[in-house]
Amino acid sequence: MEVKARMIYATALGEAVADVLQDYFSFIELNFTRQMEDGLDQIAAGKAGYKAVVSYQYNILQAELAAASNAGSTQAFVDMRADLIPCPVCSDGVFVRKKGGTGHFYSCSRYPDCSATAPEAKGKRGEPHSPDLDRLKTGNEPKAEVVLSEQNCPKCDKHKLALREGTRGPFWGCTGFKSRPACKAIVQDLDGIPDIENWVEKPKQPRRTSRGAGR
């Protein structure tokens, strides 16, 4: 870890170590901590002995250490270190593979000092992961100009529609989605303009009620 501006950030090497540990050791998982806490509660309640609880966890760790040694985990650390890619923007940090809402991507380990990012390159299954440097973003790109409709939203009739890009192509969304009450109307795109004439409001989904409600 490293501290920047009184905030703690994970280093690229630290994230690489965590990735390797997940493959060999159970203590990095939440379930291990849960079991350990349960054991300590049993000790506090006088229902279990200290040595029995600690010995059980110790034996698990010893077995996993032996398995990791036989599996060549040392080489895994070396390979992980070799896979670190120098940041193509600042050259001081390294590109770290992370998981986002739309899939994996790479970002500089010196963030927020360096905001360079790149999506993961689409390769064949089994090939090593790598960033798509042709789609590299430095973090200094100007924000795209917002395209607004001439007509108001067909639902609220108060706000304009904004052109947006989705996974299935462009669409228009109401700019009042943060207002109170919020308007989350979506209108299909028709050659660069919102297709308001064919817009139909989607029916609201019924709220799920808990079992036994109303009994």
Q: What is the pLDDT of residues 5-52, one digit of tens each?
A: 778 877 666 766 676 676 667 777 778 888 888 889 989 998 888 888
Q: Are the beta carbons of 125 and 148 closer than 8 angstroms?
A: no
Closest among 107, 70, 69 to 89, alpha carbons compared:
107
- Label residue 154 by pLDDT band (50, 70, 90): very high
Q: Phi/psi class of residue 11: alpha, beta or left (left: φ > 0; alpha: ψ in -120 to 50)? A: beta
Determine the pLDDT at residue 194.
94
Residue 117: pLDDT above 60? Answer: yes
- Label residue 168 by pLDDT band (50, 70, 90): confident
- Mean pLDDT, the chain, rounded, equals 79
**Strands lying side by side in the sheet with 148-152:** 148-152, 160-166, 169-174, 186-190, 193-194
Is the CA virtual torsion 135, 140, 145, 146 positive or negative? positive
8-state DSSP, 133: G
Residue 162: pLDDT above 90? Answer: yes
Name residues whose C-beta falls within 8 Å of residue 140's C-beta, 6 or more positions apart in sequence: 115
Residue 183: pLDDT above 60? Answer: yes
Q: How many residues can be counted in the chain?
A: 215
31 or 139, greater pLDDT = 31
Residue 212: pLDDT above 60? Answer: no
pTM above 0.85, yes or no: no
Determine the pLDDT at residue 93.
81
196 token code pair: 């308001």
Q: How many helices (H) and strands (E) does the chain have?
A: 4, 11
